[in-house]
Amino acid sequence: MVAPAGSGKTEALRAVAARKGCPVVNLSLELSRRLLDVSTRQRPIRASSIVDDIVRGYPGDVVVVDNLELLFAPELELDPLRMLKHLGRDRTVIAAWPGTIDGSHLRYAEPGHPEARDYPVQGTEIVNAGTSEGAGHDASPEPFHQERK
């Protein structure tokens, strides 16, 4: 689910989780707690496996991931979208992406910002819950892209 910060993603995800009976993971909070005991040098090496352990530690076939901003921290050297796709290989992952989509690209932060990311959306199921200029899609129950590769 894509929408800017403060647009109600958390509320919407909690409603979906309650309806589906699945857990909601505050990823930044859990990741930051686990990284406290990891040296600064080891964080980029261990961050990916820690995220994997966090999400896979929740039961069920569906997990809701919220507050994933820490995945964008340059010092962790993660690829947030690839990480989410990896987590979704053996279960359904519904994630709140704090950014925008413009029809062909998924973005986080403004260009030039150290955390900025820009991804083509092909092969990714996305619900545009925000009002990105030019996106032409609203928060409907149908995914923005239904391809899965």
Owner of token pair 């040098």: 41
Backbone angles phi, psi at 15, to 5 degrees: -65, -45
Q: What does the domain layout of the chain look like in residue ranges?
A: 8-95
Give the residue from 104, 122, 133 showing the smallest Cα distance to 4: 133
Q: Residue 56 is encoded by which pair of tokens?
A: 């896979």
What does the pLDDT look like over 44-101, one tens digit per residue? 999 999 999 999 999 999 999 999 999 999 999 999 999 999 999 999 999 999 899 8
What does the pLDDT look like over 94-121, one tens digit per residue? 999 989 988 788 889 888 888 889 888 7
Q: What is the pLDDT of residue 130?
A: 60
pTM, 2 dp: 0.79
Backbone angles phi, psi at 67, to 5 degrees: 55, 65
Query: For residue 139, is pLDDT > 60?
Result: no
Averaged pLDDT, 118-133? 68
Residue 107 pairs with which residues in a beta bridge? 100, 118
> For residues 89 and 39, what is the distance between their CA atoms, to the nearest angstrom?
29
Averaged pLDDT, 20-43? 97
Is 132 in a helix, a strand, or coil? coil
